Amino acid sequence: MALKIGLLGLGTIGSGIYEHLLKRDDIHVVRILELLRHPGLEHLETSDYSEILNDPEIDTVIELIGGMEPAHTFTVQALKAGKNVVSANKLMLSHHMEEILTLARDMGVHYRYDASVGGSIPFLYNLMRYRCADKLTAISGIVNGTTNLILDIMQREGRGFEDVLAEAQREGYAEANPAADIDGIDAQCKISIASAVAYQRYVRPEAVNTEGIRHITGADIINFKRLDKVCRLIASSTLNADGTVCAYVEPILVASDATEAAVHLNNNTISVTGEYFGLHTFQGQGAGKDPTAFAVELGLRDILDGVSPRLNPIPEGYAEVNNDKAVHPYYVHTSAKLEIPSRALGDGTYITEPVSVRAMHDLARRLRESDSGLFFAGIQE
């Protein structure tokens, strides 16, 4: 048996998977949806999706156009047409997870989204398996390669934010609109998806308190070094005993010898906690052409091998997100009056008393009305 593929998008990841599949004789790309024409591929390329949708030979669609639309519509149409879909689209999936997973199950086809969280790291696949034999209670880690590259190089080499962001874009790590990386939205989508898999309750991405690294300055980096800390953008979720979930994304200052501090460049690290097995940590390349194409290829390979769609769990209902229970001190730089007890470090920087994630994110939203450049980072204790 061979898979016949309709490939949507020939950008960084799309061209990567196309090149990988050329080396296989059991997965054939028979059509490519692409607005641009690429020399030598014109015979495969079309700008009309119906040529893929209505082609009975195509049994599997690889969706790599990203973003919300038309990715959502194309995915729904492909599933309704009885085609498997393999995707790396965390934005679309996190906002339509219930619809997409339910539709795939009802149609008896695969929706494989391993590549949407952690790039090359087999994280979601293992979450799906782990949850069959243990109760998963927490997920935490670095899930955005672009911001990790920026933070790591700013701290180790003293280079500027824009300069390193441009490098991430050149290397194909950053999203088409890098605001999704810098403002933490990409990480928000990923923790929403991973939490749904782990806890079997959907977590609405918009309920995840989310802060990025847009406002970090060179002066902040110098302060972190003085405090013997390293800044990382961390996505975290915890299943509370009452069934609610703490879920947030924010810069966190970790000890300079912490696991996360040793995660360099575009790498990711993600930990999962289970009641029986304790803590497992995964690490590897979370972004980029070949690592992500590799994860897409694994999803295709699983379909070929007949891995049961039942491995792909369908969560039941939505979890309430309650970030009152997550409490820690924060580093803040602001010209506004900080309304919580704190110790001044000088030059408008502070370390607060422990405060809940919800309270800090709410406060930052209010204070930005007078200080749009406010930056804050949780401090890991």
Catalytic residues: 190
Residue closest to 357 by CA, chosen among 224, 264, 267, 240: 240
Minimum Å gap between C-beta 175 and ligand HSE is 4
Minimum Å gap between C-beta 145 and ligand HSE is 4
Q: Tokens in use for 308?
A: 């049961």
> Would you give the distance in Å from CA 6 to the centre of its chain?
24
Minimum Å gap between C-beta 286 and ligand HSE is 5
Please identify, using beta-carbon distances, which residue of 89 and 155 lies nearer to ligand HSE: 89
Minimum Å gap between C-beta 275 and ligand HSE is 29
Q: Which residues contact 265 (CB under 8 A, 6 or more apart)?
A: 145, 148, 149, 152, 153
Give dist(CA 247, CA 13) in Å, integer.
29
Note the helical H segments in the chain. 12-22, 50-53, 71-80, 90-107, 123-130, 145-157, 161-170, 179-182, 185-199, 218-226, 289-304, 357-367
Please identify, using beta-carbon distances, which residue of 59 and 260 lies nearer to ligand HSE: 260
Give dist(CA 361, CA 376) in Å, integer.
9
Q: Which helix (H) or strand (E) holds 344?
A: strand 342-346
Minimum Å gap between C-beta 291 and ligand HSE is 9
* Antiparallel, parallel or unpaired: β 60-63 and 84-87: parallel
Residue closest to 174 by CA, chosen among 227, 220, 213, 207: 213
Please identify, using beta-carbon distances, which residue of 183 and 302 lies nearer to ligand HSE: 183
Give dist(CA 331, CA 178) in Å, integer.
25
Do residues 260 and 151 touch, judged by C-beta distance below 8 A? no
Minimum Å gap between C-beta 87 and ligand HSE is 12
**What's the start-to-end Cα distance of the chain, in Å?**
53
Residue closest to 299 by CA, chosen among 97, 89, 67, 99: 89
Do residues 196 and 315 touch, judged by C-beta distance below 8 A? yes
Please identify, using beta-carbon distances, which residue of 248 and 331 lies nearer to ligand HSE: 248
Contact footprint for ligand HSE (CB under 6 A): 119, 144-146, 173-175, 181, 186, 286-287
Minimum Å gap between C-beta 287 and ligand HSE is 4
Give dist(CA 65, CA 141) in Å, integer.
26
Task: Report the SS3 class of residue 41.
Answer: coil
Please identify, using beta-carbon distances, which residue of 286 and 299 lies nearer to ligand HSE: 286
- Which residue is at the shortest CB distance from ligand HSE? 146
Please identify, using beta-carbon distances, which residue of 59 and 290 lies nearer to ligand HSE: 290
Give dist(CA 34, CA 30) in Å, integer.
13
Please identify, using beta-carbon distances, which residue of 182 and 303 lies nearer to ligand HSE: 182
Please identify, using beta-carbon distances, which residue of 164 and 174 lies nearer to ligand HSE: 174
